[in-house]
Structure 1
Amino acid sequence: MMIASIGKGHTTVLMKAAFGSPLAALLSTVSMLLIGLIAWVALRWAVIFAVWPWQSADLCSGTQGICWPFLVEKTRFILFGTFPYDLHARPAVVSILLCALTVLTCRHMTALRPRLSVTHLAILWGVSIVLTFVLMAGGVFGMEAVDPVRWNGLPILLMLSIIAVVLAFPFGILLALARVQDRYWFLARFSSIYIEITRGVPMLTILFVGIFVLPLVLPAGVAISPVVATLTVLVFFHASYFAEDIRSGLLSLPAGQAEAADSLGMSYWQKTRMIVLPQAIRRSLPSLVNSTIGAYKDTSLVVVVGILDLTATARMSFGDPEWRSHAVEAYFLVGLWFFVTCAYLASIGRCLHKKA
């Protein structure tokens, strides 16, 4: 009885908020009509006029709906690109490993099980990053070697986004701490100059520097693959944005927090690790989540330097003359992936904000 009363109360509040005034009623009605229209168009395209996987692909030429036979044939290519077909298990394991570690880390941050200590989580990430490159490159333990040029699709997207964020975050913390401290002026000055220059230069410029300039400054005989070069510059690029996000949290803390820690005789690193930094990160969570999602999506820009991520393999999939008219299906798969993953990251951000 009590549950029914609570549900009725929530319904009344919702109805009052949606139709409590003429303007609210008008906006609610228009919104529902638009949602209904979009839902009807999506239903027609995905179900009513769809060509199903068990039907002939020839029917796709005259339909107004989705061509599922195209996705059945091209999904593996969209996901793994030109990676050798008989070795697709390796990039699949890499993709699953990075996604699972990301979920595990997010659950740790939101105090959900299973939880590992920070030290164990850091060790797990370190081992997994090495394992990721070993599986993709091969050439050891009897695995066939694969040229980095053929690392395409989903694995390269996850490697350049997730690994870059994981490595850039601690570097960003150090930059933020260096910029706000006043004991060593040269560290503060260096951090400030580095952050301002990096944030003031377009990401594409940084990528071109990593691909074409970084190999030129290496010692003779030392080579670096385009993937490692791109990952390196992405780490340094994203670190500057994380540093500014964390610096905003550091500057927003009352001075009494640090003064209280000093009065207890804590060292700088004890005070920072136990008192200052946890509160600063909680205060900067909205901007940190926004920067993380932005870094994840912006990884698609690597296509301009010749690295074929998920969007590039999707474009290649309908380059086949037999499937040239099915770009919508290819980009639908890519868009669905980005929507689901970004929605998950946003939900983690909201959960962290509530717990902060």
Structure 2
Amino acid sequence: MPMSENPVSYVRKELVPEKPAPVDIHGPVHWMKENLFSSIPNTILTLIGIYLIYLLFPPLIKFSLIDAVWHGQDRTACIDNDGACWAYVRAYFSQFVYGRYPVEEIWRVNIVFVVGIIGLVPALMPTLPFKRENVLFMLIVFPVMTFILLTGGNLSFENYLVEYTILFAIVLGLAALVSKATHSPMKAILLVLGGIGIAAAVIFGIMSIDFGLVPVETAQWGGFLVTLVIAITGIVASLPLGIALALGRRSKMPVVRLVSIIFIEFWRGVPLITVLFMSSVVLPLFLPEGVNFDKLLRALIGVALFSAAYMAEVVRGGLQAIPKGQYEGADALGLTFWQSTGLIIMPQALKLVIPGIVNTFIGLFKDTTLVLIIGLFDLLGQVQTSFTDPTWSTPTTSHTGYLFAAIVFWVFCFSMSRYSIFMENRLHTGHKR
């Protein structure tokens, strides 16, 4: 067939309108088929889950919302009701938050809460500027400010304590400066310890200043205040200590590696309840006569060391997951040990173990309830103490108190979990499919 001398070509001048995706590929029906009813076992488990939700949620909603009592002056408002007695929670809310902290000084706790939120929210938002300054404020300035506000400051340190701290920092700094090795790990360690010593001396001097605040002993603290103090202190202290212990356990120096292994295995092999008992009861027996530490401070140290041992193993797992080529690439670039660790190895390792790190934080936050056994009344301890008040003694008082504590813990733990998922999705750079 001869080809036409004038071939005709067709060029589309208008776009074809988009068509909706097929129902069997996208949408809620497709998601349910893929995730809830993809197989017979999955379908059975889905139906069992729906049945359990049907059994549990309606009574819980009925108890906590529908039949609940929201207003009242004493137990008479809830005595003849089967729902939650939220009027009791409203009456005790101040004690649940502040414990036995003096009422006229509660403004100091409120300032700590407000400043903490103002400093923490920008630090958790990756896109905001001045990130380094914000983090330094939260790690250095805010803890000192919190300590002075909550305790009143004006602490009497022995002169030799500050003098020995300064002398210790100067000796370490001079030892690092005269070290022959230019970039040795030991020189870096000496410089860091010297800086810590100088910072400690400055902090001791600030804490000894009289700011005109009424002293408040930690025995008067309680409620959610104690829960936050223990949890935040443990979280902030455990991460850097865990990183140091993880690096020490992988160190090529036998002494450092042995000390790190002994520390980690000892603290991981002892229950936290035992650690708290040791810090509260046994430790004072080994101190010189007339020397004693605050009970809350001893608990903070014990919790921080305990959680640091678990954090070290989480970080070590991340370090072992880094391919050998990353270390070889850092060596090929001529980076020192600390440069390669801080710029290449550690960021990747921490990124890989974000779920494990946050899981440790969540476990630590919930473990703060164990301090009740040594006489420190956290949120749960304060709730349990309120049950002895005959003014609010009803059949539903204990159920309401435990439900309130469960809601508070769930909100904080769930928030930490969701934030970890957000950071994990933001930081992953191709290791996921």
Answer yes or no: same fold by TM over 0.5: yes
Partner of 1:181: 251
Q: Is the 8 A contact 1:98 1:158 kept in 2?
A: no
Q: Is the 8 A contact 2:74 2:391 kept in 1?
A: no
Partner of 1:79: 97
Does 30-39 or 69-78 show the bigger shift? 30-39
Structure 1 residues 31-63: Cα deviation after superposition (integer angstroms, max 9, x where no partner)? 233323433212311232122226875231010
1:1-356 aligned within 5 A:
5=21, 9-17=26-34, 18-53=36-71, 58-107=76-125, 111=126, 113-118=127-132, 120-138=134-152, 140-182=210-252, 184-325=253-394, 326-355=397-426, 356=428
Structure 1 residues 73-124: Cα deviation after superposition (integer angstroms, max 9, x where no partner)? 11111111111123222223334444554444433xxx2x435434540343
Q: In 1, Cα distance between the equivalents of 2:386 and 2:266? A: 38
Q: Is the 8 A contact 2:119 2:134 kept in 1?
A: no
Greater helix fraction, Structure 1 or Structure 2 = 1
What is the identity, as a one-letter code, of the residue corresponding to 2:27?
Answer: H
Percent identity over paired residues: 31
Q: In 1, Cα distance between the equivalents of 2:247 and 2:137? A: 24
Q: TM-score by structure 1 length?
A: 0.90
What is the identity, as a one-letter code, of the residue corresponding to 1:333?
Answer: F
Q: In 2, Cα distance between the equivalents of 1:235 and 1:2? A: 58
Partner of 2:27, secondary structure, is helix
Q: In 2, Cα distance between the equivalents of 1:194 and 1:302? A: 22
Q: Is the 8 A contact 1:286 1:349 kept in 2?
A: yes
Q: Is the 8 A contact 2:122 2:134 kept in 1?
A: no
Moved over 6 A (4+): 1-4
Deviation at 1:133, TM superposition (A): 1.6
Q: In 1, Cα distance between the equivalents of 2:20 and 2:380? A: 48
Q: TM-score by structure 2 length?
A: 0.75
Q: In 2, Cα distance between the equivalents of 1:74 and 1:207? A: 28
How large is the Cα RMSD of the aligned pairs? 2.4
Partner of 2:78, secondary structure, is helix
Structure 1 residues 136-186: Cα deviation after superposition (integer angstroms, max 9, x where no partner)? 11254222211211111111111111112101211111111111021x110
Partner of 1:224, secondary structure, is coil
What is the identity, as a one-letter code, of the residue corresponding to 1:310?
Answer: L
Q: Is the 8 A contact 2:226 2:378 kept in 1?
A: yes
Deviation at 1:200, TM superposition (A): 0.6
Q: In 1, Cα distance between the equivalents of 2:139 and 2:32? A: 48
Structure 1 gaps, min length 5 = none
Q: In 2, Cα distance between the equivalents of 1:101 and 1:137? A: 21
Q: Aligned residue pairs: how many?
A: 351
